[in-house]
């Protein structure tokens, strides 16, 4: 998993299962009200290691409606707000990853606000 942008985030151009498993482990270890933030922090840590791979992973996520619907269900709350919030977080993260020096940690509070439906 080291060809081009295929690192720990991608496997054969698709999001790596281990990538998701690390985020899931972070959420499982957190208290219920902190799970979204814990998962987001784990994803940011991995994404900042290889922004190009993270952009590609987000691109694949946008095209994977089943995975998106599972994430929306996991986020909970009103389904329409979860859908909108996830979409907004993906767009914010993608835009940041397209900058010359991406810094997802800088926008983490905004990402969390969208994912938690506190907008």
The proportion of the chain whose per-residue pLDDT surpasses 70, expressed as a percent, equals: 86
Q: What is the pLDDT of residue 7?
A: 42
Taking only the tens place, the pLDDT of each residue in 66-96 is 989 998 999 999 999 999 999 999 999 999 9
DSSP for residue 14: E
Taking only the tens place, the pLDDT of each residue in 3-16 is 443 444 555 555 56
Taking only the tens place, the pLDDT of each residue in 89-105 is 999 999 999 999 999 99
Q: How does DSSP assign the chain, residue by residue?
A: --STT-STTEETTEE-HHHHHHHHHHHHHS-GGGHHHHHHHHHHHHHHH-HHHHHHHHHHHHH-HHHHHHHHHHH-S-HHHHHHHHHHHHHHHHHHHTSSS--HHHHHHHHHHHHTT--
| Residue ranges covered by each domain of the chain | 10-115
Q: Which residues pair with 14 in a beta bridge?
A: 11
């Amino acid at each position: 998993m080291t060809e081009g942008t295929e690192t720990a985030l991608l496997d054969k151009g698709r999001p790596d299962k281990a990538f998701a498993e690390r985020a899931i482990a972070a959420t499982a270890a957190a208290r219920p009200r902190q799970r979204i933030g814990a998962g987001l922090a784990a994803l940011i840590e991995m994404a900042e290691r290889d922004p190009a791979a993270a952009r590609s992973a987000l691109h694949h996520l946008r095209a994977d409606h089943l995975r998106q619907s599972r994430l929306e269900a996991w986020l909970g709350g009103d389904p329409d707000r979860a859908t909108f919030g996830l979409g907004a977080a993906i767009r914010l993260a993608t835009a940041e990853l397209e900058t010359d020096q991406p810094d997802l940690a800088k926008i983490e509070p905004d990402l969390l606000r969208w994912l938690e439906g506190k907008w």
